[in-house]
């Protein structure tokens, strides 16, 4: 029951100089400061962290200064509350996150402070580059458990198509596939084989790939 979390969280809030009370206008816990105007803190509790708890927190944001989500700490720290993606979500929303252990201790997992995610310029550049290099829209969004038709795979298939007629050199393929030399040398999919120095041919796996993808 969520009520088993109440006493430890109440003690925690009191240690912050707040005055907590349970079940105030539909909120599990409302704590206020002695200031005028008062700081208002709302805590929503669940035995485990789930979407409903997050949505309850979202509903409370307009009525308070801080929102805390509180859950029972899972054994061996393997529950959703210890997932760093959940921490990131809480920071993004400005929520605090508490975990109450079996001994009644309260662990602060995330502080309820405004947060702006740090931009990852390298990752952004890779995403934009892949989007621009990919020809058409060859993969259905949401696809799982099957290879994705990336820009690299598209170029490798171009090389494979040009080798159907027989072995060739990278410079012979460069007009159609500028990255031919790199693709043939790396041979990521094992579609190509070196026939002689600087001369590449198509393997059985390459012919099978053409049958599958073309």
Q: Please write the tens of the pLDDT for every residue from 136-187.
A: 888 888 777 888 899 999 999 999 999 999 999 999 898 888 899 999 999 9
Euclidean distance between CA atoms 107 and 130, whole angstroms: 42
Report yes or no on 163 lying in a domain. Answer: yes
The pLDDT, as a whole number, for residue 3 is 86
Instruction: Find the mean pLDDT for residues 8-31.
Output: 92
Report yes or no on 105 lying in a domain. Answer: yes
Report yes or no on 32 lying in a domain. Answer: yes
Report yes or no on 74 lying in a domain. Answer: yes
Report yes or no on 63 lying in a domain. Answer: yes
- Residues 6 or more apart from 71 whose CB is under 8 A from it? 5, 45, 46, 47, 48, 49, 53, 79, 81, 97, 98, 99, 100
> Considering only 26-30, 103-107, 136-140, 182-186, which range has the smallest mean pLDDT?
136-140
Q: Are residues 33 and 99 in the same domain?
A: yes
Q: Are residues 93 and 15 in the same domain?
A: yes
The pLDDT, as a whole number, for residue 81 is 92
Looking at the chain, the whole-number percentage of residues with pLDDT higher than 90 is 65
Number of domains comprising the chain: 2
Q: Are residues 68 and 163 in the same domain?
A: no
What mean pLDDT value characterizes the chain?
90
Q: Is the pLDDT of residue 87 over 90?
A: yes
Whether the Cβ atoms of residue 96 and residue 90 lie closer than 8 Å to each other: yes
The pLDDT, as a whole number, for residue 101 is 92
Whether the Cβ atoms of residue 6 and residue 22 lie closer than 8 Å to each other: yes
């Amino acid at each position: 029951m969520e009520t088993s979390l109440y006493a430890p969280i109440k003690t925690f809030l009191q240690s912050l100089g707040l005055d907590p009370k349970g079940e105030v206008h539909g909120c599990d816990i409302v704590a206020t400061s002695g200031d005028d105007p008062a700081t208002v803190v709302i805590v929503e509790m669940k035995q485990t962290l789930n979407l409903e708890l997050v949505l309850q927190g979202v509903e409370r944001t307009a009525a308070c200064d801080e929102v805390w989500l509180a859950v029972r700490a899972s054994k061996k720290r393997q529950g959703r509350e210890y997932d760093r993606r959940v921490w990131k979500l809480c920071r993004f929303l400005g929520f605090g996150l508490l975990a109450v252990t079996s001994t009644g201790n309260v662990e602060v997992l995330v502080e309820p402070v405004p947060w702006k995610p740090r931009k990852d310029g390298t990752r952004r550049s890779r995403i934009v580059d892949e989007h621009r290099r990919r020809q058409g829209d060859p993969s259905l969004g949401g696809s799982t458990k099957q290879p994705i038709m990336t820009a690299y795979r598209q170029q490798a298939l171009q090389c494979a198509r040009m080798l159907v007629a027989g072995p060739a050199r990278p410079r012979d393929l460069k007009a159609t596939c500028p990255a031919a030399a790199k693709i043939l040398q790396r041979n990521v999919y094992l579609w190509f084989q070196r026939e002689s120095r600087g001369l590449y041919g198509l393997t059985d796996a390459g012919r099978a790939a053409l049958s599958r993808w073309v």
